[in-house]
Amino acid sequence: MQRRHFLGMSLASLLLLPLQALAALWNKAAFEAVTAPAARQHLQVASEQPSSEIEIVAPDFAENGAVVQVEVRSRIANTEAIAILVDKNPTPLIANFMFSNGADPYVVTRIKMAESAELQVIVKAGEHYFTASKQVQVSLGGCG
C-alpha cells in the first residue's frame, strides 16, 4: 500500500514536471493582466521613452479582428525583446519575443483585436525600454 502510494506520487510529479517548468518561464501575471499598465508592471517595464527607431507595419483598417497581421522591427542597438500589446483587448499583452545568438529584432505575426484600439510595442534594450504605437480600426472584433 505504501509502495503503491509512493509510485502514484512519483508518477504524478513526473507528469507535472513539464508544466511546472513551463509555468516558471511563462509570465502568467503579465499575460493575465487586464489592463496595459498592469501588464507593463508585470513585465517590469520601469520607464519607457517613445522611439522612432521602432517600425510597426499593421493595417489602418482591419476588417476581421480575429486575424490582424503585425510586423515589428527594432533598429535600437542591443534590442533583447519585443512585446506587443493591444490596449483594449480583455488581456492586453499579446506576445513577448526574446532574441539571442544572431536573431534580428524583427517579427511578423497575426493577432486578435477585440475592437478598434492602439497597438503598442515595447522594446527592451539592456536596462532601457522604448515604445511605439499605431492605431488600428477594427470592423469586426475578434476576441471570442
Partner 1 sequence: MNDNIKMRALLKGEITEVKVLIGHPMETGRRKNDLEEVVPAHFIQLLTASLNGKPVLEAQWGTGISKNPYLTFHLRGAKVGDLIKVVWHDNKGQTGNGEASVSAG
Residues that bind partner 1 (CB under 8 A): 18-19, 22, 25-27, 31, 66-69, 71, 86, 89-104, 106-112, 142-144
Closer by beta carbon to partner 1, 1 or else 25: 25
CB atoms inside a 10 Å sphere around CB 82: 22
Minimum Å gap between C-beta 2 and partner 1 is 29
Closer by beta carbon to partner 1, 95 or else 128: 95
Instruction: Give whole-number Cα distances, 56 to 6, 17, 78, 88, 116, in Å.
Output: 54, 38, 18, 18, 16
Minimum Å gap between C-beta 70 and partner 1 is 10
Closer by beta carbon to partner 1, 10 or else 64: 64
Instruction: Give whole-number Cα distances, 121 to 23, 50, 57, 85, in Å.
Output: 24, 10, 11, 6
Closer by beta carbon to partner 1, 49 or else 100: 100
